[in-house]
Amino acid sequence: MKNYFALVTFSHTIFALPFALVGYFLAVHQPQISFRWETLVFVLLCMVFARNAAMAFNRYLDRDIDEKNPRTATREIPAGVISERSALFFIIINCLAFVVVTYFINPLCFYLSPVALLIILGYSATKRFTFLCHFVLGLGLSLAPLGAYLAAGGSFDILPLLYSGVVLLWVAGFDIIYAIQDESFDRSLELNSVPVKLGAKNSLRLSSILHVICAVLAVVASWTATQIYPEFGWLNYAATGFFIAMLFYQHTLVTPTDLSKVNRAFFTTNGIASLVFGVLVITDLYL
């Protein structure tokens, strides 16, 4: 079990999970939608199964690439800790579990489940033909707040769509930063990424631009939330302010010539940003 948790980097579920919970609680706070524990559990299970499938498929599809990269050669599949067959079985089980759980949520989520799987699994192949792969990853994680909102009984409303946009830009921006460390390796194998296309310096600039737009969108989302839910108070804006501060903080940790703190910028900073944001928004909504 420990090896499979490592295969999917289970701790990184914290990136999108708080936004999924925000989407769920925004939906059930509406008078026509009731809170149901079983639906909340189903949402959490969908998050786990979908991410397990996506990450394991990424590791499975990239196994030959990872074996050649000194940074990733020790990952579970190239290192022989988990066999290719076992990894593929794990992917199939998680995909099936995701679809089955959506069946028990509502028909809309069930009908959309293949689309969600296509997006989150399809990301793994994109770096073979487009440098926009980071945006596909962002799109996959951006399904979290909208999907949870729909699972609770909501519809395609403006607020969950705004939060999905925030997640898309946020994830694409920090994934570009993370990809800089593999720029030379990716170029040698003719793989595609923003760093390969633009170089490290311009990639950091693009990441900064994406996060500026993300910050603006986060402010718009917070303001929209206060218009729809008068219950929101200052914690909602504090959550957005903290999230934006962490966005810009990660850009102080990485330069084109110094990537020594890239893991701190990528994992720690973004994990804290998402967790604190989710806790403050949900707390404000119910206080």
Q: Copy the structure tokens of residue 242.
A: 């903290």
pLDDT digits (tens, 9 = 90+) for 19-28: 999 999 999 9
pTM (2 decimals)?
Answer: 0.94
User: What percentage of the chain reaches a pLDDT higher than 90?
Assistant: 78
pLDDT of residue 263: 77
Confidence class for position 29, pLDDT limits 50, 70, 90: very high
Residues 240 and 190: their CA atoms lie apart, in Å, by: 39
Residue 266 has pLDDT above 80, yes or no: no
pLDDT at residue 76, rounded to an integer = 87
What does the pLDDT look like over 154-163, one tens digit per residue?
888 999 999 9
Tell me, yes or no, whether 14 lies in a domain. no
Residue 12 is assigned to a structural domain of this protein = no
Q: Which residues contact 69 (CB under 8 A, 6 or more apart)?
A: 182, 185
Q: Collect all residues with Cβ–Cβ distance below 8 Å to 227 and sequence separation of at least 6.
A: none
Residue 252 located in a structural domain = yes
- Does a structural domain hold residue 141? yes
Number of domains in the chain: 1
Give the list of residues 6+ apart from residue 197 with CB closer than 8 angstroms, or none.
Answer: 131
| Residue pLDDT, tens place only, 147-185 | 999 999 988 899 999 999 999 999 999 999 999 999 999
13, part of any domain: no
| % of the chain beyond a pLDDT of 70 | 99
The residue segments making up the domain with residue 257 are 2-7+19-286
Q: How confident is the model at residue 11 (pLDDT cuts 50, 70, 90)?
A: low
Determine, yes or no, domain membership for 180: yes
pLDDT of residue 9: 74
Domain assignment present for residue 101? The answer is: yes
Q: Is the pLDDT of residue 281 over 90?
A: yes
Q: What is the CATH number of the domain that holds 65?
A: 1.10.357.140
For position 10, what pLDDT does the model report? 63
